[in-house]
């Protein structure tokens, strides 16, 4: 008879990590939320068929999981979490957890026709989760009140003139901006309670920018593919035009895109104040100075000059040709976004700083949202421990106003570091 080796211990009943995860997955199956699977799949830029291949089921089965017709087995929930890069608990329905119901039909895309369906879906899924993070932070930190004409309980009923330039002038009046240059476009939007975020995906160049007023707090998603601060500012003003004029309109109308452009031009370059400064003939020296003063590109200034009747068709075409030549020779170059702190979103980062100092940090937020801490860092755009220590009372307390921001005499860049 063979004696047993006393050094070998029975391990089948020990609570291994896999067993713990399977027990959690079993609990999640009972509360499985198909909409969360859709959101995670879209964020991963996977079709149902592609996801099905990765977890060894049919595309029809994935569709049924998302529709709630059937629920996946616990081991499949674990596999879904691994493939999609989310915690197992992400898929569980929770009545108190913030949840954004958003699809591509609820967002104004600047480049609707040049983007693929999965790219728009991915962008919208990203915006939805950024809003969920903002909502969770808003439970702990007083975010700026939403100050948008016509904004009522998560929708915008247009209350400004229908003509884009008139709408821009009215919004400037309501926000007390006068007719001067706007120092910080992104920071202005954040001070008005609008969530601004930067799309971090490789397809950002095609998506360009989009916005939605169909969530409890408006969201503007910008891209940095060109690394051009002037382009970013105009895109922010363009999306603001959509929020103000087209909140409830069906997205995709090319005329609405033209109106948003016209709104942005007047909002950033009010005709009454910029027209006297624009040259009556093409002068790139003047354009370069106005670019710095107004925070708009030379391209936008040339277009604005034609729009205001200062340039005829032939001078306008020659100006375009010359601008292209100057860009090709690198005489005219874009200004990098990271040199302009006022054009980089900080609202959510600073809100998390304040929340952390009050005792509710990133781990508690992750638990509240069923996110991982890595997901929260991803939506914030950088590691939390790298965030600067700053005073945010100027726009996180009620009364933080653009007038205070407007006292800064600049559209300015950060000082260059000495090498």
Q: Identify the pLDDT of residue 95.
A: 79
Is the Cβ–Cβ distance between 44 and 85 less than 8 Å? yes
CA proximity to 182, closest of 59, 66, 56, 273:
273
Span 213-224, average pLDDT: 92
**DSSP codes of every residue in 97-162:** S------GGGSEETTGGGS-HHHHHHHHHHHHHHHHHHHHHHTTS-PPPP--TTEETTEE---S-S
Report d(CA 248, CA 406) in Å as an integer.
30
For 71, the token pair is: 């629920």
pLDDT in tens, 120-135: 899 999 999 999 999 9
Report d(CA 212, CA 215) in Å as an integer.
7
DSSP-derived pairing of the beta strands 210-212 and 219-222:
antiparallel
Does residue 198 have a pLDDT over 60? yes
Name the class of domain 17-93: mainly alpha
Radius of gyration of the chain (CA): 25
Residue 9: pLDDT band by 50, 70, 90 thresholds? Answer: very low
pLDDT in tens, 57-105: 999 999 999 999 999 999 999 999 999 999 999 999 987 888 888 887 7
Q: Identify the pLDDT of residue 418.
A: 41
Exposure letters 90-122 (e unless 16+ CB within 10 A, then b) = bbbbeeebbbbebebebbbbbbbeebeebbbbb
pLDDT in tens, 237-293: 999 999 999 877 677 788 999 999 999 999 999 999 999 999 999 999 999 999 999
Q: How far is CA 243 from CA 114, 233, 383, in A?
A: 22, 15, 30
Going from N- to C-terminal start, the domains of the chain cover 17-93, 112-130+144-338
pTM for this prediction: 0.84
CA proximity to 158, closest of 256, 264, 232:
256
For 105, the token pair is: 């039909």
Neighbouring C-beta atoms of residue 319, cutoff 10 Å: 23
Range scoring the smallest mean pLDDT among 2-6, 53-57, 185-189: 2-6
């Amino acid at each position: 008879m063979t004696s047993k080796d006393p050094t070998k211990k029975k391990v089948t009943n020990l609570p291994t990590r896999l067993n713990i995860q399977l027990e959690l997955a079993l609990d999640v199956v009972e509360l499985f939320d198909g909409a969360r699977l859709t959101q995670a799949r879209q964020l991963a830029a996977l079709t149902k068929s592609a996801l099905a291949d990765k977890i060894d089921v049919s595309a029809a089965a994935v569709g049924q999981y998302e529709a709630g017709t059937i629920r996946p087995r616990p081991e499949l929930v674990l596999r879904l979490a691994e493939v999609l890069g989310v915690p197992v608990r992400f898929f569980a329905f929770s009545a108190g957890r913030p949840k954004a119901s958003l699809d591509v039909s609820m967002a104004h895309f600047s480049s609707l026709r040049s983007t693929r369906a999965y790219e728009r879906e991915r962008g919208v899924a990203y915006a939805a989760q950024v809003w969920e993070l903002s909502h969770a932070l808003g439970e702990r930190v007083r975010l700026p009140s939403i100050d948008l004409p016509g904004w009522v309980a998560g929708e915008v009923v247009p209350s400004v003139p229908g003509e884009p330039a008139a709408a821009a002038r009215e919004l400037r009046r309501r926000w007390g901006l006068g007719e001067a240059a706007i120092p910080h476009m992104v920071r202005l939007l954040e001070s008005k309670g609008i969530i601004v975020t930067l799309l971090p995906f490789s397809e950002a160049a095609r998506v360009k920018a989009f916005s939605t007023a169909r969530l409890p707090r408006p969201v503007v998603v910008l891209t940095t593919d060109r690394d051009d601060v002037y382009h970013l500012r105009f895109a922010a003003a363009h999306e603001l035009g959509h929020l103000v004029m087209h909140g409830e309109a069906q997205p995709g109308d090319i005329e609405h895109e033209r109106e948003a452009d016209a709104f942005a031009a007047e909002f950033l370059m009010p005709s009454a104040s910029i027209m006297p400064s624009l040259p009556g003939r093409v002068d790139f020296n003047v354009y370069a100075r106005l670019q710095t003063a107004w925070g708009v590109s030379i391209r936008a200034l040339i277009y604005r000059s034609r729009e205001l009747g200062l340039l005829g068709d032939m001078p306008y075409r020659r100006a375009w040709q010359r601008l292209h030549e100057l860009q090709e020779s690198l005489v005219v170059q874009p200004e990098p976004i990271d040199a302009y702190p006022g054009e980089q979103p900080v609202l959510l980062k600073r809100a998390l700083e304040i929340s952390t100092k009050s005792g509710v940090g990133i781990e508690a937020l992750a638990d509240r949202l069923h996110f991982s801490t890595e997901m929260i860092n991803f939506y914030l755009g950088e590691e939390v421990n790298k965030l600067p220590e700053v005073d945010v009372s100027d726009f996180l307390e009620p009364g933080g106003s653009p007038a205070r921001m407007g006292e800064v005499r600049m559209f300015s860049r950060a000082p260059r570091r000495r090498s």
